[in-house]
Amino acid sequence: MTSQSIKNFFQVASLLLLLVAVGLMAAIITMHFAIHGAEVEVPALKGMTVADARSETSGLGLNLDVDNRYYSSDVAAGHILTQSPDPGVVVRREWSVRVAESLGPQKVDVPNAVGSAERVADLELRRAGLEVGVTAELPIAGPDEGTVIAQDPPAHAQDIAQPTVNLLVAAPGADTPDGYVMPDMTGWRAIGAQADLTKAGIKSAPLKFVDVSVPEVGSGPAPPAVPVVPGSVIAQSPAAGSRIDQDTTVTLTVAR
């Protein structure tokens, strides 16, 4: 092979390497813009109406999910209370932004469901614009099966957080008062929970108060966290579902 042929060979090889390098660079640049072109910064939605927030997120290629609704004396009804992810977080298009909607100040009067059949109580609560939250059962002598024996929040309560009412109903086997199934009282108002235990003949220890921190709104797909209501039960012993009797002492841990 002559020197001229060797020179031509290296020229062709160099040209091919240059073309490969240019192709790789173009592919990297294209991939970069493809990835980042599919990303968007989450806007600040707090205080906006749900309709405006939906329009804002839709224009950015994001989905808006209203996960919860809460009463608020600070944010007008129909406006956004909290959001997740936080404003400024960069996410992929089609990402779901979860928000909590304000119902405005509480205007509904909580009806008295105690003594009513569970089905009747459900209808009365819905008629008042409320929903049934957690329904727990407790074997107890006296009331007919399915009768509401306690509720939280209580009748005519003010400053409730959500438009939901938890019910405690008489369970099958109420003719055996020597044994009970411990209901789940987390989220109940402590005073009301103690009163219900006393009504069932169950002893309760002095309330155990603990300080709770205000949760930050996360940046992931989880729904917005809502602060724990002071005076509400956050833990209990024995645990829900445990078998207890009139010799059992129930300890309630309450948010301060």
Rg (CA), the chain: 30
Are 138 and 84 within one domain? no
Are 222 and 166 within one domain? yes
Are 90 and 200 within one domain? no
Walk across the sheet containing 164-170 and list its strands: 131-138, 164-170, 148-152
Tell me the per-residue pLDDT of 67-116, one tens digit each, with 9 for 90 and over: 888 999 889 999 999 999 999 999 998 899 999 999 999 989 999 999 99
Are 88 and 70 within one domain? yes
Domain extent at residue 2: 1-37
Strands (E) across the chain are located at 39-41, 63-70, 80-84, 90-92, 96-102, 131-138, 148-152, 164-170, 180-181, 203-204, 208-210, 233-237, 243-244, 249-255
Tell me the per-residue pLDDT of 230-251, one tens digit each, with 9 for 90 and over: 888 999 999 988 888 878 899 9
Q: Residue 138 falls within a domain, yes or no?
A: yes
Structural contact between residues 248 and 184, judged by C-beta atoms closer than 8 angstroms: no
Q: What CATH number did the domain enclosing 198 receive?
A: 3.30.10.20
How far apart (Å, rounded) are the C-alpha atoms in residues 31 and 25? Answer: 10
End-to-end CA distance of the chain: 91
User: Domain total for the chain?
Assistant: 3
How far apart (Å, rounded) are the C-alpha atoms in residues 137 and 241? Answer: 10
How far apart (Å, rounded) are the C-alpha atoms in residues 90 and 140? Answer: 54
Q: Residue 17 falls within a domain, yes or no?
A: yes
- Residue 3 pLDDT > 60: yes
pLDDT value, residue 26? 64
Phi first, then psi, for residue 213 (nearest 5°) are -90, 155
Are 125 and 225 within one domain? yes
- Residue 12 pLDDT > 70: no
Q: Residue 126 falls within a domain, yes or no?
A: yes
Are 63 and 141 within one domain? no
What percentage of the chain exceeds 70 in pLDDT? Answer: 80
Q: Residue 143: which residues within 8 A CB-CB, separation 6 or more?
A: 149, 170, 174
Are 75 and 192 within one domain? no
Q: Residue 110 falls within a domain, yes or no?
A: no
Are 175 and 54 within one domain? no
Burial class (CB in 10 A: 0-12, 13-18, 19+), 220: exposed
Q: Could you tell me the pTM of the whole model? A: 0.51
Are 66 and 159 within one domain? no
Are 124 and 241 within one domain? yes
Q: Residue 69 falls within a domain, yes or no?
A: yes
Q: Residue 112 falls within a domain, yes or no?
A: no
Final residue of a structural domain among 102, 126, 153 = 102
Provide the pLDDT confidence category of residue 5 given band limits of 50, 70 and 90: low
Are 46 and 88 within one domain? yes
Give 223's DSSP letter: P
Helix extents (H) in 160-210 = 190-199
Tell me the per-residue pLDDT of 107-143, one tens digit each, with 9 for 90 and over: 899 999 999 999 999 999 999 999 998 888 888 777 8
Q: Residue 109 falls within a domain, yes or no?
A: no
